[in-house]
A = this chain, B = another copy of it.
Amino acid sequence: MSATHTRVPSLVEHQLPQPVPQAELAACPVNEVFRRVGDKWSMLVVILLGKRSYRYNELHRAVEGISQRMLTRTLRGLETDGLVSRTVHPTVPPSVEYDLTPLGRSLLEPLSALADWAVKHEPHLAAARES
């Protein structure tokens, strides 16, 4: 009777979940991860580094479209999150090698699962977007 707590009897026969369901608790770290790796370039770099190690300019050429600024920012971000390791070889000229850490490599697995889904279903998304 009170308008503050509207029941929807037909849709939900049993108990309505609490206002803050565990889904949010479960989804919140996901959100964190997505915010971290879901930007324009990060997972692109992660996937590349999943194949082999890259040097800075190698990545710059491989991604092709990324600016130096964004590549650096992306790598630094992944590095501070422990997903990517940065190894400086004190040669001349300097050489910097980027690798996936074990943590980064573990991310690669669910990421490639999503990648497979994307490759498989992205046409559907594009098709659905037409209509």
Which residues of B sit under 8 angstroms from A118, Cβ to Cβ?
Answer: 29-30, 32-34
Secondary structure of the A side of the interface?
Answer: helix
Contact of A115 among B11, B30, B62, B80 (CB under 8 A): B30
The CA-CA distance from A122 to B35 in the complex, in Å, is: 12
The CA-CA distance from A114 to B30 in the complex, in Å, is: 7
CB distance from A28 to the nearest CB of B (A): 8
In the assembled complex, A61 has its CB within 8 A of some CB on chain B: yes
The CA-CA distance from A19 to B65 in the complex, in Å, is: 12
The CA-CA distance from A82 to B40 in the complex, in Å, is: 22
Of all chain B residues, the one with the shortest Cβ separation from A80 is B129
CB distance from A9 to the nearest CB of B (A): 12
Inter-subunit contact A122/B33 (CB<8 Å): yes
In the assembled complex, A94 has its CB within 8 A of some CB on chain B: no
In the assembled complex, A73 has its CB within 8 A of some CB on chain B: no
Contact of A121 among B51, B63, B106, B129 (CB under 8 A): B106
Within 8 A of B (CB), among A6-25: 6, 8, 11-12, 17, 19-21, 23-24
